[in-house]
Amino acid sequence: MTEPVTATRWERAFSTLGCPDADVHEVARLARTHGCTGVELRCAPPEGLLTPRSSPAERAAVKAHLASVGVRALWLASYVRVADDTVEDSECLARLGTLLELAAEVGALGVRVFPGAPGPGPAGDACAVRRLRAAADRAAEAGTRLLLETHDSHPAARDVARVLDAVGHPAVGAVWDVLHTWRAGEGFEESAGVLTPWLDHVQIKDVAAYDDPRPLLPGTGAVPLAELPAALAAVDYRGWLCLEWEKRWFPQAPELSEALRYAAL
């Protein structure tokens, strides 16, 4: 069995994308069983364990039950696209405000956002910078953060770093999805070094091939996960490693519990 990442240095976590039908009790059970101290909560109305549409009772129950088993709500995995200029600034900022309020209420450390520009280029950067700056103080006041993921129009660490450097606010950081930076042609050492000033969380996953997104058990696919520990150690990263198991998008994939056992993150 290949074990690409060890838990000697980093906390373990998983995304509820890997268990889309689980309630908070099942999420907590999975975390306890596999030694995970954090969960990334998918927040995509009307789906998700927790969304802005969740009632006050539902929010309180999620927070209380996770806390009772020593599991932290790391961040809300939103689908807000901060560089999408087909959406008005006012609408984007209103959605961010609602999510930041929810994150603060349940004790989540941050809110994940996507870039989502229509295409690469300075216009997308400018849109993302403007909106992240506008929401940054509100995030700080809520005691949480906005986290821009290496994804879609900004897949490389250098793309996200360019935006975050221009934002220049401590309440705005980065989520490093190692699959996307690898597909963008960056080695893990390069990506880690570029993102270090802003790095909040690291998502790991493995796939069949560069152009085949089918999830494979970590260490059995094309992503060179065995190189990741050295890259993280080199920048003294001390946060969580989060398995993003895309069971929601690939229902034929093995269960999250198997992925967590196999990876031994």
**Over the stretch 46-86, which tens digit does the pLDDT of each residue have?**
888 999 999 999 999 999 999 999 999 999 999 999 999 99
139: containing domain: 11-263
Assess if residue 182 is contained within a domain. yes
The neighbour count for residue 148, using CB atoms within 10 Å, is 26
Residue 159's φ and ψ, nearest 5 degrees, are: -70, -50
Predicted pLDDT of residue 6: 46
In a domain, 190, yes or no: yes
| 167 in a structural domain | yes
- Give the model confidence (pLDDT) of 95-154 as tens digits: 999 999 999 999 999 999 999 999 888 999 999 999 999 999 999 999 999 999 999 999
Q: How far is the C-alpha of 158 from the C-alpha of 229, rounded, in Å? A: 20
CA–CA dist 7, 71 (Å, integer): 16
In a domain, 121, yes or no: yes
Quote the pLDDT of residue 120: 80
Q: Which letter does DSSP use for residue 186 in this model?
A: -
CA-CA distance, 108 to 96, in Å (whole number)? 14
In a domain, 95, yes or no: yes
CATH number, residue 168: 3.20.20.150
**pLDDT number for residue 264:** 59
Q: Does residue 3 lie in a domain region?
A: no
Q: What percent of the chain has pLDDT over 90?
A: 91
- Looking up tokens 């087909």 gives 86
Structural domain contains residue 107: yes
Domain count, the chain: 1
Q: Is residue 251 scored above 90 in pLDDT?
A: yes
Mean pLDDT of the chain: 94
Residue 36 falls within a domain, yes or no? Answer: yes
pLDDT tens profile 88-106: 999 999 999 999 999 999 9
pLDDT tens-digit series, residues 157-210: 999 999 999 999 999 999 999 999 999 999 999 999 999 999 999 999 999 999
Q: Can you give the pLDDT at residue 56? A: 94
- Peptide bond preceding 46: is omega within 30 degrees of 0, i.e. cis? yes
Can you give the pLDDT at residue 4?
41
